[in-house]
Amino acid sequence: MLDAALRDGTALRESVFEVFTRRLPSGRRYGVVAGTGRFLAELERFRFGDDELSWLEAESVVDKRTVDWLADYRFTGTIHGYREGEVYFPNSPVLVVESSFAEAVLLETLALSVFNYDSAVASAAARMVAAADGRPLAEMGSRRTGEWSAVAAARAAFIAGFDATSNLEAGRTWGIPTMGTAAHAFTLLHDSEEAAFRSQVDALGPSTTLLVDTYDIPEAVATAVRVAGPELGSVRIDSGDLPQLVAEVRAQLDSFGATSTKITVTNDLDEFTIAALRAAPVDSYGVGTSVVTGSGHPAASMVFKLVAHRNDAGDWVSVGKKSAEKATVGGRKFPVRARRNGFASEEIVRVGSTEVGPSERTLLVPLVVDGVVDQRWLGPEGTRLAREHRAAAVGELPRAAFSLGRGEPVIQTRYDLKG
């Protein structure tokens, strides 16, 4: 597209692209925007080096003129978007890219690869946070996804309300609290379960978490308290009938005087199993596969579409697809969230107007202005701000948003074509 547009003279037309999703995964009531901080960091270093340019030319992917244009590529346009951590619905314009066609069109894969994955993880994680009803969750899914996706997933889950991650790179890069427990291999390495527990307590102190389901759980719990004393921090259960086992372990710990010892559970949890454990004396959860795979929906179905451009006369032209089931609404958008009695009641997407009513709040914030990235949204600080905003945005949703049963988006999106 770039090569052809440079040839025919349309490449430098001012253009507006949007990122949005046409639908939420079946049964979901809302989504959570995640990936903004990662996308902006990648945008700052999005360049074509000598190796890439040589390959493009050698393979005749584009002609020499386009290779020369790419050599000087820098995004100089402006990007607005929903704040990271904001909730979104079908047709929410979560990212608006304004620049020449040539500069913007190159960002499609970058933007979609980040926002589709991170938002899918954050949206699933938010459901788990709601199901946990205030109990802490740890992200432990690095072994169930790609090595760099694991870091992204840890960040997205933290933004959505998880409390920690077992991924140390996510802690180093994004400032996320880290945690971990020993695996069964550590117990199996030693000549006895007691020897394994003593080794761990000697290294980490009695506040550590001991894994008690390698052999016999009641015997392991007794051994754990004997080794660490009633100050034992936590025990972890990773198998079995969790509601029954948790109740039995709680009673056993209390009988030993370890009343402050916590119980954490893992074992392929998702939002439904977490909700089923609400009545059990579980203190925290560790979630792996389900969170890093979006709990069955590993992509957020977001798309990157051209919605407006200037013509040769310099006038703005709204453009949109008319394809069956994939039609788009053209024009520059201005979305607001309407509220009633303090709760979100409607999403209004105005076309050609920036009107904000007294009970509405604007949703777009500047992320990049004339090629300069707003540093507020980057790094650990940007991640912290996204987490805080997610809590506020989710707090505006009606109670029905947190139902795990099938249903429609909790609020509807309406286009205001008249402004």
Span 2-121+297-331+363-416: which CATH code? Answer: 3.20.140.10
Q: Which of 21, 89, 127, 19 is nearest to 408 (CA)?
A: 89
Pair of tokens at residue 25: 């995964």
Q: What is the model's pTM?
A: 0.96
Distance CA 187, CA 194 (A): 9
Average pLDDT over residues 307-312: 95
Domain locations in the chain?
2-121+297-331+363-416, 147-293
**What is the pLDDT, as a whole number, of residue 419?**
46
Distance CA 277, CA 256 (A): 24
259-306 tens-digit pLDDT:
999 999 999 999 999 999 999 999 999 999 999 999 999 999 999 999
Distance CA 391, CA 412 (A): 21
The CA distances from residue 195 to 55, 229, 235, in Å, are 57, 15, 16
Q: Which of 181, 238, 249 is nearest to 210 (CA)?
A: 181
143-159 tens-digit pLDDT:
999 999 999 999 999 99
228-269 tens-digit pLDDT:
999 999 999 999 999 999 999 999 999 999 999 999 999 999
Which amino acid does the sequence have at 417? L
- Partnered with residue 284 across adjacent β-strands are 264
Look at residue 335 and tell me whether its pLDDT is greater than 60.
Answer: yes
- In CATH, which superfamily holds the domain spanning 147-293? Aldolase class I (3.20.20.70)
